[in-house]
Chains A and B, each alone.
Chain A
Amino acid sequence: MATSAGRGLVSHDTQKRLQRIAVYLTALLISVFTIIPVYVMVVIAIQSPATTFAGGRVNLLPTEPSLRNFLVLLGSTDTVRYFVNSLVVTLGSTVLSTTIAVAAGYGLTRFDFTGKSLAARAVLFSYMFSPIVLAIPLYVVFSTLGLLNSHFALTLALTAISAPFCIWLMWQYFQTVPIALEESAWVRGASRWRTVRDVVLPVARPGYISAAIFAFAVAWNDFTMARVVMSRDEMYTITVGASLFLDRVSIGWGETMAVSLLISIPPFLIALFLQRYLLQGFSVGGLE
């Protein structure tokens, strides 16, 4: 400590005040870096390009909000289709990854089997892979199976990326669920399945919601796998689709920002409504 009990250079109260100011300053700085890009995106999205670029400079104070950019997107692009594609594979992969994670986490903490620690290490190891490392082998696999350009294949590919971390998360979480809760239910006559349904899943809810949020984020923001697995325009996800807009002559910055805004809405809603669970789950996983 810089000061010794009350007799130092700064009083205890001042120290506390300084500490608080430091926290606020840091928060402010971080906010500036995150809020400015979001603000720019929103402003450009809700103004027509004519307004934004009027007078040869970029106007960032919205004066004439309009839905023109969104109407262009709906009218002359496949945005809706891309969006639906993204939703389908994201939901599929989130459900699949979370289910695998819950089953694996439960198994790893509740049963003894040979190779258990090896399995656990393999899970962590596979998490180290960058998606691009998996992309080529998965392309070969899906190509051989004739599964390219299908929602099913992309769902599997996205699950391959998110599942290791989700499994690890659930594994950690289940370690905090006392086995006595389950034993108590067994003694009262509940079968193992009934116990999982009535006791284990409700108690593990913060854990699997965190896992689901993570799986959702991975799948929704994915670009690599969608690019590799989907080659037909009508199968693109919104991330891939949006990236191609700028190549077209008819689409400008206004429309691109509008589609970016659309992409941000689902994650924003999730963060808004589920952040309580996210924090609970991650703090148990040692990621506080």
Chain B
Amino acid sequence: MATSIHLDTVRKEFRTLGNTHVAVDDLSLDIPEGSFTTFVGPSGCGKTTTLRMLAGLETPTSGTVSFGDEDVTDLPPQERNVSMVFQSIALYPHMSVRENIGYGLKIHGVPKAERDERIDEAAAVLQIEAQLEKMPAELSGGQQQRVALGGAFVQDPDVLLLDEPMSDLDAKLKSDLRVEIQRLHQELDTTVVYVTHDQTEAMTMSDQVVLLRDGELAQVDPPKQLFDYPNSEYVAQFIGMPSTNVVDCAVEAGDGGTALVGPGFELSLPAGVEAPTSDRVRLGIRPQYLDVGSDGACRLSVDVEVVETLGTESVVHGRLEDGTPFDVVSDAVDDAVAGDRLDVSFDLADAFVFGEDGETILFGSERAGERSSSPAGAGGVTP
């Protein structure tokens, strides 16, 4: 039975040699039952610690964790019906694949016949039937990861926890397993919590993405919402590949209203848009929303440094005239080479304006009607 998960002002401190390190700081969060929720963030942001608290491997310093209505804050891992797949895979080297998958069932006293039946079933789903009698050391990395997954879901857990399960796999295997995990989630009646530092995994698989920063919640939203409405500069830069361009701008009030003035461009805010209260703001624009040419409302030039060709489109890494790094993703820049100057333009509808503290103070799309162009690589999916 899938269960919902509630975190209430959970705080976790680690004390070493008189230093107190706050790994998770007052985190409150609801994870709906049966959902696929991803914790994402850079290393050291507290995502794995949070997952370990859900598993019962760490106890929160303060706050409560509940599964449904049951307070599980102080329950040891053995007494929670959770399964976990570890980053290091953690297969028992002295047990065959069959024994590895069935170990949890054995602990719970499931008779051998039923155990074998369920193991065979799991192996069929994961396509590792041929490997069942082998030892873990004989398997490839991808197969080992499948075995670990099998061992986790064969127990029919309420909550399935995955701690960066794919970080050691190559790109091809990653995309295969990504699909596999989503298929599993659809078949199983379980709440999945997935930890990753890879925003692509987070964006492609989840119902809900939890973005953490230094142990604090940065934003919780479905992937599309997170991509389109990042509530801070941090979120906008973390989500999306390549990362959102951010340019320093001055706010200047003129005759025709307020304008944002940046290196080599000026963007006037239409009437009715509340002008920023500060003198300086930062303007965010996703590389995918830039048009090569000058049809957009706001034009600027980029000095090309590196061009990466991805097949259907190219990523141009360049700089603005004041040296600010600036990336462009487009299918119309195939012939660009280093040293070129590229004219690009964008509309206010596609831009974000961040205040001095990094909070988003203006979503272009909210102020200037519907989004004008559809992005080339929306969703941050890298091929």
Chain A residues in the interface with B (C-beta under 8 A): 178, 180-181, 183-191, 194, 198-199, 202-203, 205
Contact = CB atoms under 8 A, between A and B. Distances in A.
B78 A180 contact: no
Interface of B: 55-57, 76-78, 80, 82-84, 86-88, 90, 92-94, 103-104, 107-108, 151, 155, 161
Nearest to B105: A188
Nearest to B82: A187
B367 to A, nearest CB: 48
A66 to B, nearest CB: 48
Nearest to B52: A183
A187 B56 contact: yes
Given A186-B76, A188-B155, A180 B86 contact: yes
A176 to B, nearest CB: 12
A181 B78 contact: no
B108 A203 contact: no
A190 B88 contact: no
Chain B CB within 10 Å, residue with most, of A184, A186, A203: A184
Contacts of A180: 86-88, 90
**5 nearest A-B residue pairs (beta carbon):** A188-B104, A180-B90, A202-B94, A184-B90, A186-B77
B92 A199 contact: yes
B77 A187 contact: yes
A190 B78 contact: yes
A205 B92 CA distance: 13
B83 A188 contact: yes
Given A180-B86, A180-B88, A184-B86, A189 B93 contact: no
A199 B92 CA distance: 7
25 contacts: A178-B88, A180-B86, A180-B88, A183-B57, A183-B77, A183-B84, A184-B86, A184-B151, A185-B92, A185-B107, A186-B77, A187-B56, A187-B57, A188-B83, A188-B103, A188-B107, A189-B78, A189-B107, A190-B103, A191-B78, A198-B92, A198-B103, A199-B92, A203-B92, A203-B94
A197 to B, nearest CB: 11
A213 to B, nearest CB: 20
Contact of B151 (A186, A188, A190, A198): A188
B94 A187 contact: no
Contact of A187 (B55, B88, B93, B108): B55
Nearest to A177: B93
A202 B83 CA distance: 23
A87 B137 CA distance: 38
Nearest to A186: B77
Contacts of A181: 90, 92
B90 A189 contact: no
Given A180-B86, A183-B57, A183-B77, A189 B104 contact: yes
Contacts of A205: 94
Contacts of B108: 189
A79 to B, nearest CB: 41
Contacts of B57: 183, 186-187
A96 B5 CA distance: 48
B166 to A, nearest CB: 16
Contacts of B104: 188-189
